[in-house]
Structure 1
């Protein structure tokens, strides 16, 4: 993490990271001032920092948008009531291509020339991960031609299915992962100074953890495709992975942060919400759902600026179940929805997602109260791996007993992750007895669910809660499974496909469209790139794995 300062210096110089004001992919590769040869030790940490930022839970990351779609958060950008524009995601699009993927490609090209196969393998796995996330939210995107050379103003948009599975002319993501794993296993990589362990901000040069991540990523992607493939084929794909060396509990794919403001190495989501005007409110049904189930993770997830036992007035929504919880509902018709009205009393993200305050019930204002801002940006985790296994055992293997075992391990791992973050923060941990009580209740909900689909609802709800802080996968999971059910306006339900997992909310909100099954492309990409689709896809058109 000491490399953060160096990374930020490079970024501010405009050498490797996204240039301010960059709004579209069309201009991404057109930068003759960018050097074509930079030491791999400089490229890797910059790519990793940018990957966490542009995918993560912060004002410039895709997770805040997708968490709003999934009603976990609500902010002033209207995505929570399903309003998109052609500029809504241009910064994230450009940041992922320019700040992550181009730097990543330089590592692959230069590392191959220098025979530094450890760097090449890491970059290939990162490339597969980032492209998979982009396909999952946008569908067809520039892929096979996107990173060829420094000047490529008109890359072809490849089909989403071809990017995953590959064609004669396109290396698919599964093949790319396999190639990355093979490169990690190659002996005799050229030694580097500083060593890989000093510049790899994720696994500190531990190639076994990188390999476990790569295999876990394959498992995740095969699971996402399970509805497009016969069950026997899926079993042949995931069986060797489930019995092999996958991600362990100490091997989460995540980026850590530090409590330093100059240079600013804090969790960027914390910076967004712990000021005088917090960016994000908390979804009403998300908070109250955890409250109803007596979920002991609640004080780690959310921080109430109002002390326990107190309340306020003239707000859009004050919970009858917990009057210290104040929020704004997406698309509300209330007069009390402005930032000025809610800033000093609204509930905000807490310790677990962004390194904010553990809620001890005493309250405090976000402009003056503070946390350590060190919570990591989680991307792919051990608990997610176990929830994926539970889903596969239930839906592909039709093995309820094995699914229950994996679900049990997933819930336990979810709590362990909260306690690990609490321990690092110096906050109280969740007592073992409280974890056992909640887990027993979750397993009872699973056991009592009458059908496989009802059991899947229980699994996906717990995954939804555990994944708070990384919205991209929550959004993907919901679209492909219809679980867990979420509450949105009556308009959104009527405009969306039947049986889509949407339930009607309290009736006091409005939507600007149907629940979107994909995000908009940046407008400039469509108008300037002759090889683009030229117009936005209908937001109700599903990604290929959404059957």
Structure 2
């Protein structure tokens, strides 16, 4: 594994808002004796949190395929590309899958360093944050690829070809790690030094909020397994452990959001804004991706047909707000001139708030939806309706949309008239997670097939007309870790399901 950058370089990165990520892999080796490996863990933590934001919910990788497959966004006629996404046909060299794998393992190495250094210097706050964020990254890897290197990963030259662990086993160990982290946060609430809190660009050293983040992440892991036969006893036992720490879950205004000091300067913008928004010159200079990604016809119809006030926050009117109507494109056909940005709706101002916006990793919106599903399944105590309505309310609040009370009385969102409460919760979760974390919506769709009418590509090259259930392992694994990756068998994006995907 490549050695961590020297302390001077990291201080420089911190001064520049730490907007870059360390570049290394669990297979990299660098024995440069001129580069010290003893780096202040706080500096590494700052960089690691920023890299998580940059490489997950703030990255094009978390939207490029998922946004279209789940019915949120589509591809404009401004570029001739996205053949893999439209056809569901891709190889082990597909850029998105190779980037996600490499970036998350790079990020994990930084958190692993913070954890080990935290133990060495007896700093439980660093240890707990690192454990929590390792769980965040590893869950993403499992949900995207299934079985992955886990117990033998992050061991540098000690294990240069790590074996693959079973996805369910990884989930179970992540739950244990999150329990440990939550209890450490509880024990250190109010005790984190201001110096350590300054390195924390998400919760500023608030151990109580970090504990809620860890609990919410664990609840996500557990609810994800709810469709597996015979899993209920395990889920309930694990939720009892969350209840025992007494910290609760992410509540109103407690979104886990990273912000090292983003501003409207080159290289310092919020990563989501820098990817899908505008250059520092402003609206006269949209990024390429702002022009390449347009509204999905399916989503436009959903929000319009239900008089959903979030429509104008999730999307602009045509021609980036210069027009007066909304228009999206169907998913599948190769885009033509009619799909050019001037004729279609773009990503809206509720998602693109500004270059200085924080980058949410786990929102109060998602937290309440997870809790609502858990309560509906009787896993947790609580008023299911209140949790559900809080989720919708926080979705409106995040986007800056009005009239949520009236919306909750409409047929599409009304708790009282819904015959299938779980379907109601998950449909509104789909509507509320748009542009916040499209990977989560893809996971929910694979798990529950809700919404059931998500459009399937009719692209001529789509020989299998089915939303893929996973990504393939990257070619780098077949090149450098062949025995272990080949032991996973022949992988298909259509049939090699993640363990929790049984529907």
- Report TM bin, short chain: 0.7 to 0.9
CA distance 1:508–1:151, shift in 2 (3 Å): closer
How does 1:41-80 map onto structure 2 within 5 Å? 41-59=42-60, 61-75=61-75, 76-77=81-82, 78-80=84-86
Q: What is the CA-CA distance between 1:305 and the residue it aligns to?
A: 4.3
CA distance 1:150–1:47, shift in 2 (3 Å): farther
8 Å Cα contact 1:231/1:396 also seen in 2: no
Name the CA distance, whole Å, in 2 between partners of 1:349 and 1:237: 39
Answering whether residue 464 of structure 2 is matched by residue 465 of structure 1, we say no
CA distance 1:173–1:285, shift in 2 (3 Å): same
8 Å Cα contact 2:119/2:127 also seen in 1: yes
SS where residue 74 of structure 1 aligns? strand
How does 1:57-136 map onto structure 2 within 5 Å? 57-59=58-60, 61-75=61-75, 76-77=81-82, 78-88=84-94, 89-98=97-106, 100-136=107-143
2:5 alignment partner in structure 1: none
Q: What is the CA-CA distance between 1:56 and the residue it aligns to?
A: 1.6
In the alignment, which of 257, 260, 268 is matched to residue 254 of structure 1?
257
Name the CA distance, whole Å, in 2 between partners of 1:352 and 1:151: 47
Name the CA distance, whole Å, in 2 between partners of 1:11 and 1:233: 40
Answering whether residue 303 of structure 2 is matched by residue 303 of structure 1, we say no
CA distance 1:239–1:108, shift in 2 (3 Å): closer
8 Å Cα contact 1:50/1:96 also seen in 2: no
Answering whether residue 480 of structure 2 is matched by residue 480 of structure 1, we say no
SS where residue 115 of structure 1 aligns? coil
SS where residue 287 of structure 1 aligns? helix
Q: What is the CA-CA distance between 1:292 and the residue it aligns to?
A: 1.0
8 Å Cα contact 1:184/1:211 also seen in 2: yes
8 Å Cα contact 2:371/2:387 also seen in 1: yes
In the alignment, which of 360, 366, 376 is matched to residue 378 of structure 1?
360
Name the CA distance, whole Å, in 2 between partners of 1:438 and 1:208: 33
Answering whether residue 478 of structure 2 is matched by residue 523 of structure 1, we say no
Q: What is the CA-CA distance between 1:118 and the residue it aligns to?
A: 0.7
Deviations for 1:368-426, whole angstroms, at most 9, x for unmatched residues? xxxx2233332212222221222122234699x9432321222122222223xxxxxxx
1:138 alignment partner in structure 2: 145
8 Å Cα contact 1:64/1:471 also seen in 2: no
8 Å Cα contact 1:138/1:520 also seen in 2: yes
CA distance 1:84–1:71, shift in 2 (3 Å): farther
How does 1:102-501 map onto structure 2 within 5 Å? 102-149=109-156, 152-165=159-172, 172-186=173-187, 195-228=195-228, 229-238=230-239, 241=242, 244=246, 245-256=248-259, 258-274=262-278, 275=286, 277=288, 278-306=291-319, 310=323, 324-332=325-333, 335-336=336-337, 342-355=340-353, 372-396=354-378, 402-419=383-400, 430-431=401-402, 434-441=403-410, 445-450=414-419, 454-469=420-435, 470-489=437-456
Calculate the TM-score normalised by the size of structure 1: 0.76
1:30 alignment partner in structure 2: 29
Q: What is the CA-CA distance between 1:347 and the residue it aligns to?
A: 2.0
Q: What is the CA-CA distance between 1:26 and the residue it aligns to?
A: 6.5
Deviations for 1:265-291, whole angstroms, at most 9, x for unmatched residues? 333344444326423122110122111
CA distance 1:183–1:236, shift in 2 (3 Å): closer
CA distance 1:42–1:307, shift in 2 (3 Å): closer
Name the CA distance, whole Å, in 2 between partners of 1:258 and 1:37: 28
CA distance 1:261–1:158, shift in 2 (3 Å): same
Calculate the TM-score normalised by the size of structure 2: 0.83
Answering whether residue 496 of structure 2 is matched by residue 545 of structure 1, we say no
Name the CA distance, whole Å, in 1 between partners of 2:177 and 2:379: 27
Q: What is the alpha-carbon root mean square deviation over aligned residues?
A: 3.2
Q: What is the CA-CA distance between 1:151 and the residue it aligns to?
A: 6.1
Q: What is the CA-CA distance between 1:140 and the residue it aligns to?
A: 0.6
2:22 alignment partner in structure 1: 17
SS where residue 441 of structure 2 aligns? helix
Deviations for 1:13-49, whole angstroms, at most 9, x for unmatched residues? xxx6126xxxxx564x323347532111210111111
Name the CA distance, whole Å, in 2 between partners of 1:197 and 1:439: 39
Name the CA distance, whole Å, in 1 between partners of 2:343 and 2:380: 48
1:511 alignment partner in structure 2: 462
Name the CA distance, whole Å, in 2 between partners of 1:122 and 1:240: 19
Name the CA distance, whole Å, in 1 between partners of 2:459 and 2:18: 48
Name the CA distance, whole Å, in 1 between partners of 2:12 and 2:463: 40
Q: What is the CA-CA distance between 1:183 and the residue it aligns to?
A: 3.0
Name the CA distance, whole Å, in 2 between partners of 1:398 and 1:210: 20
